[in-house]
């Protein structure tokens, strides 16, 4: 089975009878077992029973959904019955197994998807780089010589799809944790609006900013999963007419010195391609985006005090010594976050969520997903100060969309001279999830065509 096969292509192969869910599952289980630090747990017994039931439905011509029988991997923040939800933390490994599935896992089960297992992540999902000293750091597969970060916090989910150990995986995103690993691994990543999907049974980081979504090889896969997670019977694969859709590139962001030349050049080439096909792309400043960037730099990150509240009891216990020192330090620093600053950010967010809708006036904003390609791993493991600088630099642009609750799709734009992926991010105002998915589908088709 080709490692680049999409979830939708795999389901079409089931329909055509060229393979079946049982054969496909065994392929992915074998690949998953051979990967290092990518999976925290495999649910082989459950998966085999689900694959056999799916194969019978396909034989009868009665699949439950467009992705019936497709294996899916879950970031280990999602409860999967019979497994421990570790949240990437060694201190959680002694917890009791979940007695029920998270709501999205349940919806996937109803749609016939096969639960492959739980994927690795940054401890408590609290970093954009992907390091984990407890379960190991999944290696970015795009550099065979130098170990590079996979992106985080949905590191295992991204690498599982990138190496062909899962056709699709589900992550969470609070500041960039789907979009960043998608960018570093050459994948499609969809961050939904924060309230689009039920978060029951998902271990939180920030109640205000947490959102969910898939990492996949195609926008079609993201749309199919969106339908399942939204409780719809079938996906709507109607793409928008790009001739009727405006795009905005904020050149102040794009030409910031922190954006690496290859990231900028590949984005500009993608925009030129759109314009060559008659798509309207404006170059102008989007004030709401710059105001958010300024707020984060001056005041701090809204999720920090919320993350501390989630883990406050743990931080006061002897088990705090067992945490990743990088995560522990970030949580400790949040103790100094003034309540007045937290309220200022909340009030600013209410205003700016509406301001960005006004600023865009129906347009889709185009930004680099990350300003740079995946950095080397070893220096970040050795130097905590360098780690913190790199983490902020990595999340800087995706944090804006999280603060504004903007659904976004990260799409590959190409490679740099060393063969490392670059990416651009298409985003729209909060709640316009279906519009950004259909727009991304049209952009993906145009660029592939």
Of the listed 65, 155, 177, 430, which one is catalytic? 177
CA dihedral 211, 212, 218, 219 (to 10 degrees): -50
Task: Find residue 202's DSSP bridge partners.
Answer: 78
Dihedral sign (CA 202, 203, 207, 208): negative
177 is catalytic: yes
Would you say 83 and 98 are in contact if contact means Cβ atoms under 8 Å apart? Answer: yes
Cα dihedral sign, 373-376-377-383: negative
Catalytic-role residue among 75, 103, 118, 191: 75
| Contact in structure between 370 and 262 (CB atoms under 8 Å) | no
Annotated catalytic residue 153 = yes
Strand partners, 252: none
Sequence-ordered strand ranges (E) for 310-433: 364-368, 408-415, 421-427
Peptide bond into 152 cis (omega under 30): no
* DSSP-assigned letter for residue 202: B
| CA neighbor of 393 nearest in space, from 268, 249, 257 | 257
Kindly name the residue from 127, 153, 218, 430 that is annotated as catalytic.
153
> Please, is 161 exposed, middle or buried when counting C-beta atoms within 10 Å of its C-beta (0-12, 13-18, 19+)?
buried
Name the pairing type of β-strands 211-216 and 246-249.
Answer: unpaired
Angle at 157 between CA 26 and CA 111, to 5 degrees: 60
Q: Specify the length of the chain in residues.
A: 449
Query: Are the beta carbons of 90 and 320 closer than 8 angstroms?
Result: no
H helix and E strand count, the chain: 16, 11
Q: What's the rounded Cα separation, in Å, for the pair 14 and 21?
A: 7
Spatial contact of 422 and 263, defined as CB atoms under 8 Å apart: yes
As annotated, the active-site residues are: 75, 153, 177
């Amino acid at each position: 089975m080709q490692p680049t096969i999409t979830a939708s292509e795999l389901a079409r192969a089931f329909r055509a009878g060229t393979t079946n869910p049982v054969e496909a599952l065994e392929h992915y289980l074998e690949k998953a077992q051979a990967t290092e630090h990518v999976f925290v747990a495999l649910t082989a017994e459950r998966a085999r029973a689900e694959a056999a039931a799916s194969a019978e439905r396909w034989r009868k011509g009665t699949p439950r959904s467009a992705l019936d029988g497709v294996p899916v991997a879950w970031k280990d923040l999602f409860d999967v019955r019979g497994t421990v939800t570790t949240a990437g933390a060694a201190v959680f490994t002694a917890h009791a197994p979940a007695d029920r599935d998270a709501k999205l896992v349940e919806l996937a089960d109803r749609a016939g998807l096969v639960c492959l297992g739980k994927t690795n992540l940054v401890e408590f999902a609290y970093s954009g780089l992907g390091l984990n000293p407890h379960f190991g750091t999944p290696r970015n597969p795009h550099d065979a010589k130098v170990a590079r970060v996979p992106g985080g916090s949905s590191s295992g989910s991204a690498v599982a799809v990138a190496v062909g150990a899962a056709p699709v995986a589900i992550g969470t995103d609070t500041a960039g944790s789907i979009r960043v690993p998608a960018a570093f691994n050459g994948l499609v990543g969809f961050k939904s609006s924060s309230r689009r999907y039920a978060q029951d049974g998902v271990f939180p980081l920030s109640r205000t900013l947490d959102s969910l979504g898939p990492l996949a090889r195609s926008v079609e896969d993201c749309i199919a999963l969106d339908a399942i997670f939204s409780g719809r019977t079938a996906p709507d694969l109607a793409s928008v007419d790009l001739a009727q859709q405006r795009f905005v590139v904020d050149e102040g962001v794009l030409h910031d010195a922190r954006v690496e030349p290859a990231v900028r050049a590949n984005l500009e080439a993608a925009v030129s391609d759109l314009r060559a096909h008659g798509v309207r792309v404006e170059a102008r400043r989007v004030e709401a985006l710059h105001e958010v960037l300024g707020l984060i730099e001056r005041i701090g990150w809204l999720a920090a005090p919320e993350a501390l509240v989630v883990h406050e009891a743990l931080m006061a216990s002897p088990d705090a010594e067992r945490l990743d020192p990088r995560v522990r330090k970030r949580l400790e620093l949040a103790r100094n976050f003034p309540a007045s600053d937290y309220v200022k950010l909340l009030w600013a967010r209410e205003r700016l969520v509406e301001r960005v809708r006004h600023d865009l006036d129906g347009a889709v904003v185009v930004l680099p997903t990350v300003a740079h390609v995946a950095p080397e791993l070893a220096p970040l493991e050795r130097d905590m100060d360098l780690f913190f600088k790199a983490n902020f630099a990595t999340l800087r642009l995706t944090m804006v969309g999280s603060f504004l609750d903007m659904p976004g799709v990260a799409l590959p734009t190409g490679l740099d001279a060393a063969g490392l992926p670059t990416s651009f991010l298409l985003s729209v105002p909060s709640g316009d999830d279906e519009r950004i998915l259909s727009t991304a589908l049209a952009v993906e088709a145009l660029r592939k065509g």
